[in-house]
Structure 1
Amino acid sequence: MRRLIKPFKPPRAASAATLRHFSADPQPSPDLSTPVSQTLSLLQITDPSSWPTNSDLNSLLSSLSAPSVLKITRQLPNCQNALHFFNHLKTNSHLSDSAPLAFQAVLELTMRENPDCPGKLYELFVSSKDQNTPLSVNAGTLLIKCFSRAKMLDEMIMVFDAIDDEMKNTDVLNLVIAGLLRWGRVDDALKLLEEMFEPDSCCQPNTNTVGIVFSSILKRNWCGRSVTDEEIYNLVSRFGEHGVSLSGFCLTQVIMRFCRNGDCDKAWTVLHEGMNSGSDVEVASCNALLTGLGQNHDFSRMNLLMKEMKEKGVEPNVVTYGIMIKHLCKFRRMDEALEVLEKMRDGELGVEPDVVIYNTSIDGLCKVGRHEEGLKLMERMRLESKCEPNTITYNCLIDGFCKAGEIARGRELFEQMKKEGVELNVITINTLLDGMCKHGMVSSAMEFFSDMREKGLKGNVVSYTALITAFCNANNIDKAMKLFDEMRENGCSPDAVVYYSLISGLSQAGRMDDATFILSKMKEAGFCLDIVGYNILIGGFCRKNKLDKASEILKDMENSGLKPDRVTYNMLLSFFCSNGDFTHAHRVMRKMIDEGLTPTVVTYGALINAYCSNDHLDAAMKIFRDMRSSSKVPPNTVIYNILIDSLCKNDDVEVALSLMDDMKDKGVRPNSNTYNALFRGLQQSNWFEKALEYMDQMTEQACNPDYVTMEILTEWLSAVGQTEKLRKFVQGSRVSDSTTEK
């Protein structure tokens, strides 16, 4: 252990309670009829300077055993007298064998008189070491405990090294390891532990060693370096090789740690090593492993472990079956979960289901849309198992019915709760509010919320979030803002979702100044807007034709550490395109590419639409051809529609028809807008036969005509006396004489 010694540091004071714990209790008055009492009397009535020449005293001391000398020293009036007595013994060769025990008593008296000064004990230790006084195990133990609690670890190790190797035992090593671990000296503790593991070690580890090591390294407030899972696993194995098992609590903690870190294999091995070694494995350890396996949906090993538990005599409890049912429900294996529940109810498993298991099963049924079964299970729970439904039971059912859109049934359950005296909580209210809001019943939700507040049930941030979001989606921004103000007045701090909903709603409504104000309040509250929120603001200012404001938001976004994404660039490009500013539009596109962002079909669509709208059809077609030949983004139906419509309006029907062929070759499906644009062009060119062919093609592709299609064709076919063909077209029959497939 000398390799662990570091330069001496000034000793630190320990608490009075700490040191007083080790001090010897005062002894009763001596009986003068014994040699011990006679010796003690002489020591108390004579001056220490006369002890060396006092023949009576030395004669008595020569006849006493070492334990008797310890007893005498402990009863001296103070530590100074005891120290004089110790020095007297050291200077007399025929009395020096008793000195180590006398020194032990000196330490005890010093601790009693100086409970806040471990430094005094260190001085005594150094002095005894200089005098070559052997340190007894008890004295060493006392100093090790004292220095350990005072965080004087280097001094503690010096004491350990001073104890004769033949006198050291497992208990002493355990104390040193405990001290090292307590103050984070992990590596030193593990080195000492490794020495205990050596085959020739006379200090083999015991159950106390295991408890000390694992209770330290598994603490939540552990102050030492992080101990890896691999190190923990190896420690468990090494202790097992020495026939020492972890306690049930420590084993459970180790398994929970491995499972939490995603290593169920290690947890499985550790548990089974404990089982196979004959140790008393507790059900809590098995439950911990079942939880980890369930999170990995390893149901095969869960079932195997359940079987092994019974074989090893580890009786599953209600928690065990609760874990099984919980994870089966979580992964929507409801029939299996209900099968376990039925076996519990029938008494096959020897454990009756409790309200937690029923609630888990009911919640699982509701989450997979089987809320009616959940409701029936609640009734069976009440009648057959004598388990009364609680708030959680009803909340699960209300949530299930609300998510299914059956708000009225949810309200019925709410009223039933009140009637039965089941406590309502804010989750109950929020569940109903959320259901109403998501199914368009915003007015009913607001009325319900007001009614609850009148009855003393206050909402929280979730309540206000649901209502504010609903009013924003319904474009009732004034009501949303009123709720926002009310929320803050009631001391309910808005969360990020509330701010986002308001910014989005205000931007959609064109109230950009209000949206910017909400952004400032959001920042004051310590929230940061994400890229989606910034894009909403930039888009809003672009729609209001306020490029300067959009630029400010863009700069703010970049200062927040967010880079523009494709959506950002597409919005800016669309803005410039809509204003006919193609120079800036192309600059935006180049910057987008320079930033490593591939233009999307929306990017190209914005440019093509802008060029078409500004009668630059050649430029639009050039971009289209570039997309087909070199771009990784192929044209979609929208882009073809824009070009076909523009070509037809410019009497380039032949080119438009070639694009229809191109769509077919590329596998791009035309829609009613495609055909409508083409029919207008064909009508303008009076190309009736070609129109009939495309009417047949439209029918073959199951592309349903819309009202625009019918308006164009009705006007045209009526004018040329071909209403019968229109009737056939509506009925889905062929109208063209040609059989050529287009």
Structure 2
Amino acid sequence: MLKQSKLLQPSALSSLHRCHTNSQNDAVSVVTQVVKLLQHPSKKWNLDQLHSSLSTLSSHHFLPITLRLASIPKAKDFLSYLAANSPPHHPNSLSFVFQATLELASQHPNSQKELLRLHSYRKSNLPTIPLTAKSASLLLQCFENAQMVDDSLLLFKELHPSSKSSQLCHGLLRVLLESGRSEDALHVLDEMLQPDSGVTPNDFTGEIVFGELVKRGYPGRSASDEEIVVLVGKLGERGVFPDKIKLTQLVTKLCGKRKINVAWEVLHCVMRLGGAVDVASCNALLTGLGRERDIQRMNKVLAEMEERKIQPSVVTFGILVNHLCKARRIDEALQVLDRLRSERRNNGVSVEPDVVLFNTLIDGLCKVGKEEDGLRLLEEMKTVNKIRPTCVTYNCLIDGFCKAGNIDKAQELFCWMNKDGVQPSVVTLNTLVNGMCKHGRVHSAVDFLNEMKGKGVKGNAVTYTALISAFCGVNNINKAMQYFEEMLSSECSPDAIAYYTLISGLCIAGRMNDASIVVSKLKQEGFGLDIACYNVLISGFCKKKKLERVYEMLNEMEETGVKPNTVTYNTLVSYLGKTGDFATATKMLRKMIEEGLKPSVVTYGALIHAYCSKKNVDEGMKLFEEMCSKSKVTPNTVVYNILIDALCKNNDVEMAVSLMDDMKVKGVKPDTTTYNAILKGVRDKKMLNKAFELMDRMVEDACRPDYITMEVLTDWLSAVGEIEKLKRFVQEYQISSDPAPSQTSLCL
């Protein structure tokens, strides 16, 4: 039986092959016949023949039939016919025809428009047609191009799990993440992660997700902190991690947005789940932690690096040194350098310090006033490590010595710089010019600027601003103007600070016309005045008694949106008080409070001084009481001195003495001016015992008498025969030869 079966086998196979071939040929013939029928207008179709022919075909033949029509309208006609007449034994025929119609639409010159039309047609007429994977892919690509995110999501949700290919899932993930739909992206990812899902996340999934996370997004495009950590964790659990570059980029981005905790969680999530982490990613986190001065967690990262055998680089040590120096923890920064030295000596991990590391340490030393130590580090850098210093190295040291007031050493370093063949920069020029100007060597600064010009290093706005400020400081306004004009005529344009500096100098010197000219130039250059500049102009116009210009400035401030501050109101209150316009001055004080600004002791002091100067002590006292009760601003010594002096001159010595007692209660220490004023008052009232009491208090307060004190007491006590009292008083002090400060000065 078995033998006979074997003998029959070849002929049986041949027969079977012939039957299959004949069947295929018949199907091809029927397909061709159907295509020919469908080429006619739909109203002229031979429906009986069409229906009969289609009934002999299987569902997969409907796809080539539709494609061979090569016409979207004819394909749609066929689709409509099948929707109404589809034989029950062809359950997938509509899906295949719709797929073919979409493929034809995708080849159309205006493919997006045609695909969207077919999508609308399906929604309206054939909502129950199941989509094939190819149909879904074509529509999702179209939706992505048209930024129809909601339609993409709805389409994906209606697909059968078997139709959700990797390509579809990845395309949708990219669309959702690009559109800032992180929560929806998480749902898609969750579906991919389900045990029965036919699509498993892979490295390509990671490329999409992590690629979008590291993009420098804009509003509406970034995932939330929690979503980022969840995304990294969920993919990590399936062994999908960001590559080293993307992990570094992601940590850097998060740290740049001050989301240090999220960056910490992301890096540690990758570490915990077994992903690859290198030194660059750790350095990115260290940089963020250093910016937050979180030294404790920086040390923890370093310990984890050592535990995981992640080799630190010179950049790692540079980050540590940089942030320790910024935190003024210079001794700890030097310990990092010692660690590098020790490892090199012990043949451990060899990380050679570079010029950046040395520059950071030298700058840190100079900033804490240890410029000599910085100088020694320069020598070690050159001789031991054989590292050539850069312009930055010398600039740090020159700046340190300039700030310490050692201009000679700074200039010597400049000579060393030239000997080492290091080209000075404009920063070098500015550092030395600024240092010379601040320490009274402005002419040396000018000579140095001219010397540098000869070497091809030209000054910039910073250079000229330093010179302008220095000349204004010594009241040499003409020179300041000269350098301002030189700056204008040179290739460097003045910045706002240069303008502000000159305007301030001109106002202080009372040259308001020149100041106004400079203000006009400033505005022509597109700069605006800031509050400090307005204040100095208002003060200058007040001193020149040009009230109309003051109000012009105030109106301009209102128009440009610059709000007056406490200094503005103090200047106005003081000026109005001096002119005797107390009503307006009081209004200004009330307006200041309404604007939410708190009057200071200077505000009240200026108005009190104005009242007292106009011999209106009662109003001055009322304001003083308001100051102490309502505003709760504590008066200072100057305010008390003004009132005590005015009360004594007004023959109200008892009230002046009462104010002296009030000073003691409030803990305000009287000075020599206070005692001089009250002693004159009690002398005029012949209150000898009170004078003795005040002399004792003066000794207790360690308040040194001056020549005015001695003049008052000598004449009076000699006349009443109390010269011994004076001698005992004098023995307590060495008389100061300096005159007392003016009673009217408002050094508040």
Length-normalised TM-score, structure 1: 0.79
Q: Does 2:250 match 1:247? A: no
Q: Do the aligned residues in 2 keep the contact of 1:181 with 1:224 (CA within 8 Å)?
A: no
Counterpart residue number, 1:585:
585
Counterpart residue number, 2:568:
568
| CA pair 644-141 structure 1, distance change in 2 beyond 3 A | closer
| CA pair 269-225 structure 1, distance change in 2 beyond 3 A | closer
Counterpart residue number, 1:503:
503
Q: Does 2:660 match 1:637? A: no
In 2: Cα distance, 1:706 partner to 1:695 partner = 13
| CA pair 707-491 structure 1, distance change in 2 beyond 3 A | farther
Pairwise CA distance, 1:187: 5.5
Structure 1 residue aligned with 2:276, among 280, 284, 306?
Answer: 280
Structure 1 range deviating more: 145-154 or 190-199: 145-154
Look up the equivalent residue of 2:208 and give its one-letter code. Answer: I
Counterpart residue number, 1:11:
none
Pairwise CA distance, 1:341: 0.7
In 2: Cα distance, 1:630 partner to 1:144 partner = 71
Q: Does 2:363 match 1:350? A: no
Look up the equivalent residue of 2:223 and give its one-letter code. Answer: V
Structure 1 range deviating more: 704-713 or 90-99: 90-99
Counterpart residue number, 1:333:
329
Pairwise CA distance, 1:118: 5.1
Q: Do the aligned residues in 1 keep the contact of 2:395 with 2:431 (CA within 8 Å)?
A: yes
Counterpart residue number, 1:3:
none
- CA displacement, residues 469-507 of structure 1 (integer Å, 9 cap, x when unaligned): 222222222222222232233243322222221221111
Counterpart residue number, 1:402:
402
In 1: Cα distance, 2:436 partner to 2:588 partner = 44
In 2: Cα distance, 1:275 partner to 1:692 partner = 81
Pairwise CA distance, 1:547: 1.4
In 2: Cα distance, 1:351 partner to 1:261 partner = 31
Q: Secondary structure at the match of 2:210?
A: helix
Pairwise CA distance, 1:595: 3.9
- CA displacement, residues 9-36 of structure 1 (integer Å, 9 cap, x when unaligned): xxxxxxxxxxxxxxxxxxxxxxxxx99x
Counterpart residue number, 2:521:
521
Pairwise CA distance, 1:143: 6.9
Pairwise CA distance, 1:648: 3.2
| CA pair 209-269 structure 1, distance change in 2 beyond 3 A | same
In 2: Cα distance, 1:514 partner to 1:494 partner = 17
Counterpart residue number, 1:312:
308
Q: How does 1:248-647 map to 2 (within 5 A)?
A: 248-346=244-342, 347=344, 348-628=348-628, 632-647=632-647
Counterpart residue number, 2:203:
207
In 2: Cα distance, 1:209 partner to 1:451 partner = 63
Structure 1 range deviating more: 397-406 or 455-464: 455-464
Pairwise CA distance, 1:290: 1.3
Look up the equivalent residue of 1:246 and give its one-letter code. Answer: P
In 1: Cα distance, 2:610 partner to 2:94 partner = 104
Q: Do the aligned residues in 1 keep the contact of 2:608 with 2:623 (CA within 8 Å)?
A: yes
Q: How does 1:94-173 map to 2 (within 5 A)?
A: 117=111, 148=144, 165-173=161-169
In 2: Cα distance, 1:154 partner to 1:681 partner = 88
- CA displacement, residues 243-286 of structure 1 (integer Å, 9 cap, x when unaligned): 43232233223323433343433332322222122221121221
Q: Secondary structure at the match of 2:564?
A: coil
Counterpart residue number, 2:678:
678
| CA pair 531-120 structure 1, distance change in 2 beyond 3 A | closer
Q: Do the aligned residues in 2 keep the contact of 1:149 with 1:179 (CA within 8 Å)?
A: no
Q: Secondary structure at the match of 2:431?
A: helix
- CA displacement, residues 587-634 of structure 1 (integer Å, 9 cap, x when unaligned): 333433444444433333333323332233344344445545555234
Structure 1 range deviating more: 523-532 or 301-310: 523-532
In 1: Cα distance, 2:565 partner to 2:432 partner = 38
Q: Do the aligned residues in 1 keep the contact of 2:183 with 2:227 (CA within 8 Å)?
A: no
Q: Secondary structure at the match of 1:554?
A: helix
| CA pair 248-679 structure 1, distance change in 2 beyond 3 A | same
| CA pair 636-168 structure 1, distance change in 2 beyond 3 A | closer
Q: Does 2:699 match 1:703? A: no
Look up the equivalent residue of 2:270 and give its one-letter code. Answer: G
In 1: Cα distance, 2:277 partner to 2:482 partner = 60
Q: Do the aligned residues in 1 keep the contact of 2:161 with 2:198 (CA within 8 Å)?
A: no
| CA pair 210-629 structure 1, distance change in 2 beyond 3 A | closer
Structure 1 runs not aligned, ≥5 long: 1-33, 53-61, 736-742
Structure 1 range deviating more: 312-321 or 613-622: 613-622
Counterpart residue number, 1:178:
174
Structure with the larger RCO, 1 or 2 (CA within 8 Å, 6+ apart): 1
Pairwise CA distance, 1:212: 0.3
Counterpart residue number, 2:221:
225
In 1: Cα distance, 2:338 partner to 2:455 partner = 40
Pairwise CA distance, 1:513: 2.3
Counterpart residue number, 1:24:
none
- CA displacement, residues 190-238 of structure 1 (integer Å, 9 cap, x when unaligned): 4433432444433232222122022123312558534222221222232
In 2: Cα distance, 1:212 partner to 1:499 partner = 52
Pairwise CA distance, 1:511: 1.5
Percent of matched pairs sharing the same residue: 50
Matched positions, count: 693
Q: Secondary structure at the match of 1:173?
A: helix
In 2: Cα distance, 1:314 partner to 1:211 partner = 24
Pairwise CA distance, 1:145: 5.3
- CA displacement, residues 656-679 of structure 1 (integer Å, 9 cap, x when unaligned): 334333322332211111122233
Q: Secondary structure at the match of 2:197?
A: coil
Structure 1 range deviating more: 478-487 or 177-186: 177-186
Counterpart residue number, 2:7:
none
Structure 1 range deviating more: 99-108 or 180-189: 99-108
| CA pair 610-158 structure 1, distance change in 2 beyond 3 A | closer
Q: Does 2:239 match 1:237? A: no
Counterpart residue number, 2:51:
none
Q: Do the aligned residues in 1 keep the contact of 2:254 with 2:260 (CA within 8 Å)?
A: yes
Pairwise CA distance, 1:405: 1.0
Q: Do the aligned residues in 2 keep the contact of 1:79 with 1:109 (CA within 8 Å)?
A: yes
Length-normalised TM-score, structure 2: 0.78
